[in-house]
Structure 1
Amino acid sequence: MNTAGATALVTGANRGLGRHLAAELLARGAKVYAAARRPESIDLPGVEPVALDITDPAAVAAAADLARDVDLLVNNAGISTGAPLLGDLDGLRADMDVNFWGTLSMVRAFAPVLAANGGGAVVNVSSALSWFAFPGAGGYAVSKAANWNMSNALRLELAGQGTLVTSVHLGLADTDMAAGVDGPKTDPATVAKTVLDGVEAGDLEVLVDDWSRMVKASLAQEPRAFYAQFLGA
């Protein structure tokens, strides 16, 4: 996938990582549809703003109808309500509605568009929390685990039309979503470059930082040692 000359749609492009992904795509020579619930909040020169709530099927269908030239779909929009699994069901449902169902809705709507334009690529921005749970982030972790394995399944289902599906995983980026979380944070501009370099290389997964690489490697081990840090053992 060559991002120079590509036509991309980026969800959640009004701020944070989405804005940096849109900016990096522009810098690489792509045409960019920048989608957000409030398109008036998009302040990046050179993009085409699109009104889009990915949990609204009518809005998703309208976006796919508008952006018929897209060959790179970047599913960046996501939320973290902080809901634990034994807590607020509304928060849990919101995490799943955006991070899983909304993202899947976008792929379902744009798969025929990508096929018509030669296959292209889908990028699903997931998390290192796809592979572990953290106190206070149960709903988010479960939704991102679903997002990750959704990418695996979609990769198989879209292979016949030549569509690359890339899943992106990282710890903390220096964005509004992580503003209240302590720990080392990656510059979102660096994340955007790393993600798009991975897409251009045809990578199936992009592990942005050491934390995400460590977490994934830990899956091959008995989980007691990893979870001792959270359980106080």
Structure 2
Amino acid sequence: MTQNFDCVSVLSLSGEDCAQFLNNQLVSEVSKITQFSYSAICNPKGRIIYSLWIQPTASGFLLGVDEGLSESLQQYINMRKFRMDVQITSTDQQLQVTDGHTEHYDLGHFSFAQPKDKPASADAFWRIMFSLNLPWITQLTTEMFIPQHVNLDQAHVIAFDKGCYPGQEIVARLHFIGQVKKRLQMITYQNPHSHPVGTVVEVNDMPNPVEICAPSIKIGAKWQTQAIVPL
């Protein structure tokens, strides 16, 4: 079964300098992106502005970003390309995920393609993100999280040996001489209503408040979501 999602906008990045430009922005090493991948762009303070799905093409890359951040990402690229040969354009493709009759996903299930069916629900998208144990940055969470706090180091998304990119000094300092004191975790809680994204709340018997960083999905009488939890 294949699901397509219109909550992700797919943009085309092309031009002779697009790989170099993208490498200067991502926390990942672009030369190692040879198939469908996940990465992120940070601000100078090391906080994630955009999480991205990336698929190499013959002319450059397709980038998947949260639909609410699509225009922002296009502006971001156009403001920073200067004289580099880089073009960013919208496409009518959508993120497609083949579930393979399993609840456990990997990036081999992902692609960009022309939609053939009605888009799946937002809850279905978030269930996939929960299964991957990866964050998805939206308008509500942009510039809130440092990559290590949402486990991008554990997911081997960050290239700690690459050159400079926005926020690299902050990310590298935490990795080499700092200590990660909070992490992205799945939590389940009972409440009459779901906790809004971005709020800091007390849940269950956890000793410290947690920061809700994804929409909550109703499962029976409980809610399930991702949260940043102090270690």
Please give the TM-score of this superposition, normalised by the length of structure 2.
0.27
Please, what TM-score do these two structures have when normalized by structure 1? 0.27
Structure holding more strand per residue: 2
Higher helix content, 1 or 2:
1
